[in-house]
Amino acid sequence: MKLHTINTGLFKLDGGAMFGVVPKAIWQKTNPADVNNLCTWAMRCLLVEDGNKLILIDTGIGNKQDEKFFSHYYLHGDDSMENSLGSLGFSLADVTDVFLTHLHFDHVGGAVVRTQDKLSPTFKNATYWSNERHWQWAVEPNAREKASFLKENILPIQESGQLKFIDEVENLEWQNNINISFAYGHTDAMMLPKIKYKDKTLVYMADLLPSVGHLPLPYVMAYDMFPLKTLTEKQAFLEEAVDKNYVLYLEHDPVNECCTLQRTEKGIRVAETFKLSDL
């Protein structure tokens, strides 16, 4: 098995929304905001190369939305899905499986492409994986979360016949050396892959832990549907991650790809940060 970082670009989100009840005077030391109170975040996907499988975890925001949409999120940087895959010698057509941690637009937008007026899966030869509980949550969204679940990102996957559901079973063995955990605070039934790699367990953190700046327990995003649930889930996960020496792969951290954890007088904090390629 080989793991590869897939960078799909950077975008900006409101710092207050990203850090919830934590005052700006504190969180801006972690991720400084611009004059509009916006902070830069990564959309860092993961490619798993294993035998005849080429598994992509999350897809970034994509490029099919209109100018007005993108004006809210200030996409920048030189990276894209196609270029990142190409740098490894792969094309979009080589991907066999697309694993979607959840269906918010910055995680699933790149799963669908627009050709003139037609929407179709970006990865023509891939099976797309979600779970039934989260899928229903996304296609019938609540008013608060509706802006994050865009039908053009979601419905074409099902209409293509390429969609399959993963059973909602904690620590399910989904693929060889890949188990799935579920989290319910950020959105309903978000999935976190736990990958056995080089005698370690690497966990793709999605939005349970967007960045190292979110390690302190109260640092919970205002985007989370059930923040107290996130708090409980995060605390339990961090304890497990320290005890089992997990490597955390950070989807949104603009600087750090991976980290390990340690216990300190202030709680669980970063032990080391490093690139995936350094493992």
Specify the amino acid at residue 117.
D
Q: What integer pLDDT is reported at residue 235 of this predicted model?
A: 98
Question: What percent of the chain is predicted at pLDDT more than 90?
Answer: 98
Boundaries of every domain in the chain? 2-278
At 191-236, the pLDDT tens digits run 999 999 999 999 999 999 999 999 999 999 999 999 999 999 999 9
Q: If you average pLDDT over residues 130-134, what whole number do you get?
A: 98
Give the residue-averaged pLDDT of 41-66: 97
- In three state form, how does the secondary structure of the chain look? CEEEEEEEEEEEEEHHHHHCCCCHHHHCCCCCCCCCCEEEEEEEEEEEEECCEEEEECCCCCCCCCHHHHHCCCCECCCCHHHHHHHCCCCHHHCCEEECCCCCHHHHHHHEEEECCEEEECCCCCEEEECHHHHHHHHCCCCCCHHHCCHHHHHHHHHCCCEEECCCCCCEEEECCEEEEEECCCCCCEEEEEEEECCEEEEECCCCCCCHHHCCCCCCCCCCCCHHHHHHHHHHHHHHHHHCCCEEECCCCCCCCEEEEEEECCEEEEEEEECHHHC
Q: Please give the radius of gyration of the chain, using alpha carbons only, rounded to the nearest integer.
A: 18
* 231 burial via Cβ count (<10 Å: 0-12, 13-18, 19+): middle
Looking at residue 36, its pLDDT comes to 95
Q: What is the pTM of this model?
A: 0.97
Name which of 66-75, 237-246, 252-261 the model is least confident about.
66-75
pLDDT value of position 117: 87
What integer best gives the mean pLDDT of the chain?
97
Given a cut of 90, is residue 3 above it in pLDDT? Answer: yes
The pLDDT of residue 116 is above 90:
no
- CATH number of the structural domain 2-278: 3.60.15.10
- Residues 140-192: tens digit of each pLDDT: 999 999 999 999 999 999 999 999 999 999 999 999 999 999 999 999 999 99
